[in-house]
Structure 1
Amino acid sequence: MTPGGTKVRIVDDEPDLLSAQVQTLRLAGFEPEAFTSAQPALQGLSPDYPGVILTDVRMPGMDGLELQRRIQALDPELPVILLTGHGDVQMAVAALKAGAWDFLTKPAGADELAAALRRASQSRALVLENRLLREGFAAASGEDPFLWGNSPIATHLRQTIDRVAETGVNALIIGAVGSGKEAVARALHAKGNRRSRPFVHVICAALDASRFDAEFFGQAGLGNRAERIPGLLEKAQRGTLFFDAIDTLLPALQARLLSILGSTEFLPAGATSQRPLDVRMLASTSTDLPALASRGDFRSDLLYRLSGVSIHVPPLSARREDLQGIFRRLLIDISRRQGLPVPTVSAGVQARLDSHDWPGNLRELQQFAEAVAMGLDPVPLFRDESIDARASLAAQVAEYEAALIRSVLRQTGGSVVEALQLLKIPRKTLYDKMARHGIDPSVFR
Structure 2
Amino acid sequence: MPETSDLEAFRAEVRDFLAARLPEQLRAKVLGHLPLDRADILRWHAILHEHGWLAPNWPVEHGGTGWSVEQQYAFDEECCIAGAPETLPFGLRMVAPVLMAFGTEQQKARHLPRILGGQDWWCQGYSEPGSGSDLASLRTRAEPTDDGEAFVVNGQKTWTTYAQYANRMFCLVRTDPGAARPQAGISFLLIDMASPGITVRPIRTIDGGQEINEVFLDNVRVPRDNLVGKLNGGWDCAKLLLRHERMHAARIGRSKRELAFLKRIAGRRSAGGRPLAEDPEFARRIALLEIDLLALEQANLRLVETMQRGEGHGAEASILKYLGTTLTLKIVECAVEMAGIHTIPVRDARSRQDGDMAAAAGPAWADPLAAFHLNLRKIAIYGGSSEIQKNIIAKTALGL
Rg comparison, structure with higher value: 1
